[in-house]
Structure 1
């Protein structure tokens, strides 16, 4: 066809750049003494920003997994078939150790480095991060049964991706999943009705239905079921040791809002074979550390989505002109972009701080463990709540182009709400904070001590800390005020971290708006005097650099 016009003022693809070239990531590594990981992070960043890796993400998203319940002869097979690009994503993530390396390495910064690397790599595709995160989280729960841990942990942490259908202990590497939620209970897992009956050989027979089981093709699943002693945790393999398929049927794949690359499913267990993990009747206690690890990844995932959305918005504004000048030079747009960047940096800073606390807690630091307990709860609630609003505003920076799938923005927008739901919706996360304070009052003490370490550095932060401390004086109404109180805790924590460790322009903008009240109800309402140039520059992707 004969061209009817010359294409101008369109934005080049954001490709062939280093995703890790973001100061907020690199500064966190050096601040914690993990600067020697920077070179590897840049290697992963260049791979994540390459056309090849981005194509994997596009293909995995464009070709969702397909459930095959039966083979051509009518035999039940319950196999989910993924696009080859999905397996490339999984193979790369496992090779990077994002699924379990911290549990097998002696490095004092293993969890922090894993978090930073995961945050860089998952920009390519969030969907495959689900089974990677679950595998990472399963290990500490599995340690409640030392015999099972001795058999499975080496295979859960080795850097071998093996998607074949074989007994787990015959494979070179394993992926793990979770099968917890039921129709009638949702987050209230104590309402589960799946039953567990012991067998003479030491195994258990599980029967029941699970409403959400993500990544059902995982080699092993952790399942909650009711035994005579109460809710208990079990390890359930997809393929039994004799090579036969376990008695689990995938009823259907969810037609869900979020990513399309990963499968979420409904599963029926009909006398499926499983092994008890932890003490019978103490299933929630067994999985609690697993929940903490996935909550860390929820917080990290929301922060990652914010940074990616911010980078895409700034890239678009840098190359797109409107009303006589580049969008990035329009004052109103600069306000929006800088505000988005402030939110992304604050969220990333607290997420990586939590990962560093995980390292210290694993080394026996009791204060770090207490800080991590309450810090995870408040940050999972607030950061994941901010994700959807951030994604919507960043999408709008691209105008109509942001509404088109090719821009990558709709995928970010669809994914953002998931992380607020996963491992407990907003109310669950907020109330879990209050539960932590009630059961371990010292968690609030160490958090207030952490906030006080920035005392005197910023008037708005000092005032905010005083307000949030006073919020706990009226204990009777705490549950009614849970969201407000926990949100304020999250904001003061982010503000304290930024004042002590962040870029001055970012810290000043954050405290003046989120804590000082000089802010509107939407992004792009920063007050005058904010150094938007420095903030935008820090968050501008360097294509071709």
Structure 2
């Protein structure tokens, strides 16, 4: 076949120009995630102003293309279970992509695991909370073992001997992966195993049994239904002892270097959180040590639950803010009908409304972190506030995340539905925190329990709300109506969600009235407390200062 001549059709066609890319927003990379007035003001207000430089360092790192790529790769290359080695021996190990390990190394090194418990500076738990929120925006799954390690320390202190042995390694800033004897490692990660398939939230229905040995250790036999991060070094596990449901410490590797019995039956095939392995382990003559008093397992582990619930609030607030940042960045660069999307009135309404939701969630989350920090230093009032407000915040902020992330995704149109945008992963992660550490119903009922059994927690909540008394008539009216609702005991469980929702909104309103600019506080009280607000985002009424709200939205300016 001869080569085409200059007059042939192949030579005469003009070069194609169908793939010239215009009017697309650039990637949101190379920025400082901590360059966020809501986050920075909250950190300073709650006592961690000294952490500002380090927060910016982590923020710049989180904004790099490399770290964001780690988050993507850790979810695209999911963990793989190996139950046996090539010879048929049980090993029960899970293999992770190198990017997952890189993320854990980053977060543990930044002190997001147990490190705050070894740091006596005031505000250290607030500093950790802000860092946690920044890294959550990069990748949420790897923070499950980080969060559980953070939360296990106060529970382990119920047994001083075990705490003395393991706490120095749990508070380490060294990520040391692999199953080895704890004493041979430079840092440990911890997890928990509470629920079983026949009981779920009803842990008193657990059937895993514990039998005491002559050497003071115990042996466990049974199963767990949802135990995340099975490659962690230590686990707090609930099991039935002769004296009742008790808490036990279960190491993956025993002090002599031998493997403890921890048979991983399978990994869960989850909606999201794909980078993090969640497993069903079986215990069979598994060595354990009692933590706290026999028969007081729930009481022992409750401090751990409180701290992981706090991380749920932080994680959901961060997830909302990460999705908002992507949406605001997109509409700032994308043009439609001859104008930037950010300048279109209806889109401004949506972004401002999402900004309100995000600022309220972030402000509440950091207030809870401040309460946790002060409670650890012996402030009884803050401890009482934390007891009730954590359950309230866990219910509401985690409930709002799926709706907010869905709306933010829609701002990107079809681009937001594409995996390459990162928005689908944020959307899949969104329901998790509402389920983990107790679903919405569990937390709503926990609020009722606190109101009934721990009246000091309600006194602390009321004091927090009333700190804004007289500053906004709509807030004052909402608080009066809520107090009336709290006095009604009939059908309390039936009304629990409605009650907790109002408690969350009133608390957020009080915080914003005291701490946010007038544009934000006024819009929040007018819509969330004043009535006449639509069910969808983007239904803010006319007359509000949308410019003032959007100016505090990450990704919308600069």
TM-score scaled to structure 2, two decimals? 0.96
Matches of 1:427 and 1:505, distance apart in 2: 34
Q: 1:54 aligns with which of 68, 71, 79?
A: 68
Structure 2 counterpart of 1:508: 522
In the alignment, is the contact (CA less than 8 A) between 1:253 and 1:266 conserved in 2? Answer: yes
3-state DSSP class of the match of 1:207? Answer: strand
Pairing 1:7–2:21 present:
yes
Deviations 1:114-153 (A, max 9, x none): 0011111221110001000000000000001000000000
Pairing 1:346–2:360 present:
yes
Matches of 1:276 and 1:176, distance apart in 2: 16
3-state DSSP class of the match of 1:222? Answer: strand
Structure 2 counterpart of 1:297: 311
Q: 1:43 aligns with which of 57, 62, 83?
A: 57
Structure 2 counterpart of 1:367: 381
Query: Which piece of structure 1 moves more, 294-303 or 518-527?
Result: 518-527
In the alignment, is the contact (CA less than 8 A) between 2:332 and 2:556 conserved in 1? Answer: no
Matches of 2:51 and 2:554, distance apart in 1: 22
In the alignment, is the contact (CA less than 8 A) between 1:22 and 1:538 conserved in 2? Answer: yes
Deviations 1:327-367 (A, max 9, x none): 11111111001101110110010000000011111111111
Task: Report the alpha carbon displacement of residue 32 of structure 1 after superposing the two structures with TM.
Answer: 2.8
In the alignment, is the contact (CA less than 8 A) between 1:21 and 1:541 conserved in 2? Answer: no
In the alignment, is the contact (CA less than 8 A) between 1:17 and 1:542 conserved in 2? Answer: no
Pairing 1:29–2:48 present:
no
Matches of 1:405 and 1:119, distance apart in 2: 22
Which residues in structure 2 correspond to 1:149-298 (within 5 Å)? Answer: 149-298=163-312
Query: Which piece of structure 1 moves more, 286-295 or 32-41?
Result: 32-41
TM-score scaled to structure 1, two decimals? 0.98
In the alignment, is the contact (CA less than 8 A) between 2:328 and 2:556 conserved in 1? Answer: no
In the alignment, is the contact (CA less than 8 A) between 2:24 and 2:333 conserved in 1? Answer: yes
Task: Report the alpha carbon displacement of residue 2 of structure 1 after superposing the two structures with TM.
Answer: 5.5
Structure 2 counterpart of 1:431: 445
Matches of 1:284 and 1:89, distance apart in 2: 32
In the alignment, is the contact (CA less than 8 A) between 1:20 and 1:42 conserved in 2? Answer: yes
3-state DSSP class of the match of 1:202? Answer: coil
Structure 1 counterpart of 2:83: 69
Matches of 1:389 and 1:264, distance apart in 2: 25
Query: Which piece of structure 1 moves more, 139-148 or 523-532?
Result: 523-532
In the alignment, is the contact (CA less than 8 A) between 1:380 and 1:429 conserved in 2? Answer: yes
In the alignment, is the contact (CA less than 8 A) between 2:78 and 2:97 conserved in 1? Answer: yes
Structure 2 counterpart of 1:413: 427
- Please tell me the root mean square deviation across aligned C-alpha atoms, in Å: 1.2
Matches of 1:350 and 1:254, distance apart in 2: 32
Deviations 1:400-440 (A, max 9, x none): 11111111111111111110001100010001011011111
Task: Report the alpha carbon displacement of residue 521 of structure 1 after superposing the two structures with TM.
Answer: 0.6
Q: 1:462 aligns with which of 476, 486, 491?
A: 476
Matches of 2:304 and 2:365, distance apart in 1: 17
Matches of 2:449 and 2:50, distance apart in 1: 38
Matches of 1:127 and 1:408, distance apart in 2: 14
Matches of 1:422 and 1:208, distance apart in 2: 22
Task: Report the alpha carbon displacement of residue 197 of structure 1 after superposing the two structures with TM.
Answer: 0.7
Structure 2 counterpart of 1:530: 544
Structure 2 residues without counterparts, runs of 5 or longer: 1-14
Q: 1:17 aligns with which of 10, 24, 31?
A: 31
Pairing 1:394–2:412 present:
no
3-state DSSP class of the match of 1:211? Answer: coil
Q: Tell me which structure has the larger Cα radius of gyration.
A: 2
Matches of 1:518 and 1:495, distance apart in 2: 16
Which residues in structure 2 correspond to 1:104-123 (within 5 Å)? Answer: 104-123=118-137
Structure 2 counterpart of 1:130: 144
Structure 2 counterpart of 1:336: 350
Aligned residues: 544
Query: Which piece of structure 1 moves more, 22-31 or 141-150?
Result: 22-31
Q: 1:485 aligns with which of 490, 499, 514?
A: 499
Runs of 4+ in 1 over 2 A off after TM superposition: 1-5, 540-543
In the alignment, is the contact (CA less than 8 A) between 1:335 and 1:524 conserved in 2? Answer: yes
Matches of 2:392 and 2:441, distance apart in 1: 11
3-state DSSP class of the match of 2:224? Answer: strand
In the alignment, is the contact (CA less than 8 A) between 2:219 and 2:288 conserved in 1? Answer: yes
Task: Report the alpha carbon displacement of residue 33 of structure 1 after superposing the two structures with TM.
Answer: 3.6
In the alignment, is the contact (CA less than 8 A) between 1:378 and 1:486 conserved in 2? Answer: yes
